[in-house]
Amino acid sequence: MRYSETITIEDLDTDPFPHYARLRAADPIAPVPAANCWFATRWSDIEQIARHPDFTAVSDEAPVNAAFGRPNVLTCEGETHAALRGGIEPHYRPRRVAEYIDSLVRPIAEAQLAAFRASGSNDLLTEYFEPISALALARSFGFMEVDTPTLRRWFHGLSQGAINFERYPARDAICQEVVAEIEHVALPLLERLAKTPDHSPLSHMLHSGMEPGQVRSAEMILPSVKVTLLGGMQEPGHGAANLLVGLMQNPAQFTALRADLDALLPQAIDEALRWIAPIGTMMRTATRDTQVNGVKVPEGTPVSCIFASANRDETRWDNADAFDIFRPQKAHMSFGQGAHFCAGKWFAKAQIEVAMRVLLDGFPHLAFADDPPEFRGWEFRAPTHCRVAL
């Protein structure tokens, strides 16, 4: 039996990195029955899979299809993908993000920090980073009236379906309850925007590229709305929490960053995203019998590109398991590869930067309140808490 066939989901949820390292070394393209797919774990192999026509994003096996419906921007190709992405992308391009990110995120962050002070809580994950991430994405995307508890319930519920490789009915039920709630809120909003467009991504998804007088149906865009809500509400908040944990585990780096925030914060954000990718995988399917790095991959095989493993590939980074904000800067894969590269990359990184600046202005000296938090998850990975001594 191959080692990959012995890996369990609990192994991956607890700490996937030793398993990824072993696969990179000896079996980099390998079936993992527990996840109902194969794993690609090396940087070079994932680059090939993400860009080669022998592999497609279209998949009958991807949990996101069962969870959110089709077509969605993650698992379609060609004109459909271009149309859906074209509605999302303009608002999240670098220059556009630079115009509005501070005025959007800073008031949210300052309000959350004030609420955190008043709450008596010391968990920055649940009381600061996650609320900022949820509110910033929702307000930028066009959901202006949904409150923080609802948004957090949405992204935790959506994640249960998106990562349900094991096809557990209980996870699907949690996800579908949230999906119904999102659709209940979104459908009247989309109906209004179809008649009275504005500058929000939701409106662009309805109208972008359409003939005058025509709009896309709600059914066409709702699956991608759910995808965007999940990724956009989850990745920045968990990326920021990963960064803070990495800094608190490395006090000398934290001291250096506070002393030169402008120079070091951007690269510290990228290092945190490389070190622990908040979203660690991307599914592809072989379109024909093919080979990757000499390994035969049969037509129809679902292959999970493990970005979190590629980010620790020893051939690309020295001491790759370490958090080191001073390491030479290289591109990581935490925002994906190829045509499906995350449209929200610049929004996510800028949001983390504003949230960290507001936090460090308010609490310049942070340390763990108790033992460092454990991390959980492999598709989505984050600390279980971020309790601090203030």
Domain ranges of the chain: 3-389
d(CA 182, CA 233) in angstroms, rounded, equals 14
Domain 3-389 has CATH 1.10.630.10: yes
By C-alpha distance, which of 123, 17, 62, 186 is closest to 366? 123
Cross-strand bridge partners of residue 383:
375
Q: Mind giving me the DSSP string for 105-150?
A: HHHHHHHHHHHHHHH---BHIIIIIHHHHHHHHHHHHT--S--HHH
Residue 18: predicted pLDDT: 99
User: How many helices, marked H, and strands, marked E, lie in the chain?
Assistant: 16, 11
pLDDT under 50 in the chain at which residues?
none
Bond into 197 cis (ω within 30): no
End-to-end CA distance of the chain: 51
| pLDDT tens-digit readout, 261-317 | 999 999 999 999 999 999 999 999 999 999 999 999 999 999 999 999 999 999 999
Longest Cα–Cα distance of the chain, Å, equals 60
Amino acid at site 145: E
d(CA 33, CA 38) in angstroms, rounded, equals 8
Amino acid at site 13: D
Tell me the pTM. Answer: 0.96
19 is written with which tokens? Answer: 């398993």
Residue 60: predicted pLDDT: 81
Residue 339: predicted pLDDT: 92
d(CA 318, CA 335) in angstroms, rounded, equals 21
Residue 50: predicted pLDDT: 96
Residue 266: predicted pLDDT: 98
